[in-house]
Chain A
Amino acid sequence: MNTSAKPVWTPTEMMTIVAARALKSSDVCFVGIGAPSAACNLARLTHAPDITLIYESGTIATKPNVLPLSIGDGELCETALSTVSVPEMFRYWLQGGRITVGFLGGAQIDRFANLNTTFVGGTYAKPKVRLPGGGGAPEIATSCHEVFIIMAQGKRSFVDKLDFVTSLGHGDGKGSRERLGVTTKGPTRVITDLCLMEPDPGTKELTVVAMHPGVTRDQVVDSTGWDLKFAARLADATPPTPLELSVLRDLHARTRAAIEAQQQKGGEA
């Protein structure tokens, strides 16, 4: 790999595109605002036109033209097949087992893909940094058929030990979910801005299975707070295609344009 050539895509774009590629038209996907929303809509606008996107605000089979900044946005409701109440979404769609893929991220992740979005540093009683909290992640983690995790990789976020387990991944290894009577697969992929990891089938410990184009093994190791394992044979990394990049960039450009248009309409505040 010629590392001196300037890549024509950003690591975040690569992360979003790898996440999009993991989705199929037949998936029913629980989408969060941010990178998951970009990835899911990219999939819908490219190889997975029939994917069912569900946002926790209650919108089912939504087809947003722009990416909302917030989960309750009218854009999601107006382009949906149906909008149910939030409790109905959680009870009948999520815990009812009707969602194939849930997307999660977090401030911290450990080697078994457990996530923390509650606090970092100090103790629960006296946290150094209070984080937003669980949101819907704890139930997404147990009720979606499988979970894809998407987050930027770094030593502060990929840690040896979580300060708080907000969402269950593979607990302390193989068999943990089963012991709690949780029958879903849990996290099956962790997609970062550097690589793709999957839990080892024997131990459930996260293992690098592919690195993004131009990323070195040292970079990945240096961005992880534990002794990270690599698969014996890494998959070939496919760079973003021109189509993937143009559809993703158009989506972001439309979103920016919509916000600017609204602000101009409102004139000087």
Chain B
Amino acid sequence: MSKRRKEVVASVKDAAAMIQDGQTVAIGGFGADNHPMALVREIIRKGTKDLTIIASATAGLEIDLLIGAGCVKKLIAPYVGQEMYCPIGHNYRKYAESKQIEVWECSEYILYAGLFAAASGQEFFAWRGGVGTSIPELNPDLVQFTDPIGKTKKIIAVPPLRADWAIIHVGWSDVYGNGQHLGARFGDRWLARAADRIMTQAERIVPNSVIRRNPFMTTIAYADCVVEAPYGGHPYAAHGFYKEDVEFIQDYVRCSEANRKGDAATWDEYLKRHIQPDHYAYLDTVGIKKLLGLYTHPIVSW
């Protein structure tokens, strides 16, 4: 396959429009860090429906937001919450308890094992975590078997988890879709490799020479589409750029909890406040002082 250099920059709007109703989308980041929020908000604004979401192994409230906005049909995730902020996502709980979403039960590495199987074109990946639990009993896609070599250990066969799209936050990228993380990579490269197509959201678009200067840091090569979205991870942290917005996340937790408890008006008002016509209108609602107050020194010296 020839890989001629091709510019793949798109607007947030055009990029999110490539994701169709009913598709499977893997979303990168981890906990309260490095989530591609500008793209997530645009998916919500556009009203994309019936998505199957493959979340990062510690999915944060970015997934909870998508669920609460009615975009999700099926969720593949071992955890949805924000730890000390909110041990369990309120919309996730509301939708799972009322069966408005289907949950594919797994553990963190069962998720990665499925991504590995998809990424490497293999029928399954074997993993020991989860044996002796209810997980393989209640997730019919998982098959527990006895190690065919040593013949003593129980192991779980995890089938491929393939996505149509992976949407991944990177620190920066060139216009050809070659991106670099400027901090932890979490499981992003595995989410990306298990997807047919990769969409990255970069804090900055930089010249190709910047990428070439340190190829060891290139984490996503040949993304199919890249968008530039400064502060595009807000309210979550972006490694190398800014910390998470504690107050903003606490407000999310309050409003989503209200929704779980039946106060749909508070939740609708929350969505109205935060799902703005475009990314820059969103940043306006956050405010320049707030945004610059989140700035942190770069983790990585480049």
- Please list the residues of chain A having a beta carbon within 8 angstroms of any beta carbon in chain B: 33-34, 56-59, 69-74, 77-78, 83, 85-87, 90-91, 94-95, 118, 124-143, 164-168, 171, 176-177, 180-182, 259, 262-263, 265-267, 269
Chain B residues closer than 8 Å to A138, beta-carbon distance? 107, 110, 129-130, 133, 135
- What distance in Å separates the Cβ of A31 from its nearest Cβ neighbour in chain B? 12
User: Provided the pairs A134-B108, A134-B135 are in contact, do residues A266 and B294 lie with their beta carbons within 8 angstroms?
Assistant: yes
Find B82's partner among A58, A70, A83, A127 (CB 8 Å cutoff): A70
A-B contact count (CB 8 A): 226
Contact with A along B117-160 (1 / 0, CB 8 A): 00000000001111111110010000000110010111000000
A259 vs B243: C-alpha distance when bound (angstroms): 11
Restricting to B43-90, which residues have a CB under 8 Å from any CB of A? 57-58, 60, 77-85, 87-89
A130 vs B96: C-alpha distance when bound (angstroms): 7
User: Provided the pairs A70-B33, A118-B134, A266-B293 are in contact, do residues A85 and B190 lie with their beta carbons within 8 angstroms?
Assistant: yes
Q: Can you give 21 contacting A-B residue pairs, CB < 8 Å?
A: A57-B184, A69-B32, A69-B83, A70-B84, A74-B296, A74-B299, A78-B299, A85-B189, A94-B109, A95-B109, A130-B97, A131-B88, A132-B89, A133-B103, A137-B107, A138-B107, A139-B127, A142-B131, A166-B134, A181-B150, A267-B293
- What distance in Å separates the Cβ of A128 from its nearest Cβ neighbour in chain B? 7
Residues A263 and B247 in contact, CB atoms below 8 Å apart? yes
Residues A77 and B132 in contact, CB atoms below 8 Å apart? no
Residues A132 and B80 in contact, CB atoms below 8 Å apart? yes
Find B239's partner among A77, A133, A139, A177 (CB 8 Å cutoff): A77
Find B132's partner among A70, A90, A171 (CB 8 Å cutoff): A171
Residues A134 and B107 in contact, CB atoms below 8 Å apart? yes
Chain A residues closer than 8 Å to B108, beta-carbon distance? 56, 86, 90, 134-136, 139
Residues A74 and B33 in contact, CB atoms below 8 Å apart? yes
Residues A57 and B186 in contact, CB atoms below 8 Å apart? yes
7 smallest CB-CB distances across A and B, nearest first, come from A139-B129, A181-B153, A72-B33, A266-B293, A72-B31, A70-B32, A168-B132
Find B60's partner among A70, A133, A171, A267 (CB 8 Å cutoff): A70
Residues A87 and B190 in contact, CB atoms below 8 Å apart? yes
Residues B78 and A167 in contact, CB atoms below 8 Å apart? no
Query: Which of B34, B96, B103, B132 is packed against the most chain A CB atoms within 10 Å?
Result: B132
A95 vs B113: C-alpha distance when bound (angstroms): 13
Contact with A along B172-195 (1 / 0, CB 8 A): 000000000001111101100000
A65 vs B183: C-alpha distance when bound (angstroms): 18
| B93 CB-CB contact with A under 8 Å | yes
- Please list the residues of chain B having a beta carbon within 8 angstroms of any beta carbon in chain A: 29-34, 57-58, 60, 77-85, 87-89, 92-93, 96-97, 99, 103, 105-110, 112, 115-116, 127-135, 138, 146-147, 150, 152-154, 183-187, 189-190, 237, 239, 243-248, 251, 286-287, 289-290, 293-294, 296, 299
Chain B residues closer than 8 Å to A85, beta-carbon distance? 185-187, 189-190
A134 vs B77: C-alpha distance when bound (angstroms): 9
- What distance in Å separates the Cβ of B171 from its nearest Cβ neighbour in chain A? 12
Chain B residues closer than 8 Å to A168, beta-carbon distance? 131-133
**Nearest residue in B to A261 (C-beta to C-beta)?**
B293
Find A72's partner among B115, B130, B184 (CB 8 Å cutoff): B184
User: Provided the pairs A83-B184, A86-B187, A134-B105 are in contact, do residues A72 and B299 lie with their beta carbons within 8 angstroms?
Assistant: no
Find B128's partner among A34, A95, A164 (CB 8 Å cutoff): A95
Residues A133 and B78 in contact, CB atoms below 8 Å apart? yes
User: Provided the pairs A135-B79, A139-B108, A167-B133 are in contact, do residues A70 and B31 lie with their beta carbons within 8 angstroms?
Assistant: yes
A87 vs B239: C-alpha distance when bound (angstroms): 19
- What distance in Å separates the Cβ of A129 from its nearest Cβ neighbour in chain B? 7
**Nearest residue in A to B29 (C-beta to C-beta)?**
A72
A150 vs B50: C-alpha distance when bound (angstroms): 39
Residues A132 and B134 in contact, CB atoms below 8 Å apart? no
Residues B97 and A166 in contact, CB atoms below 8 Å apart? no
A166 vs B110: C-alpha distance when bound (angstroms): 13
- What distance in Å separates the Cβ of A156 from its nearest Cβ neighbour in chain B? 15
Query: Which of B134, B135, B294 is packed against the most chain A CB atoms within 10 Å?
Result: B134
Chain B residues closer than 8 Å to A73, beta-carbon distance? 31-33, 237, 244
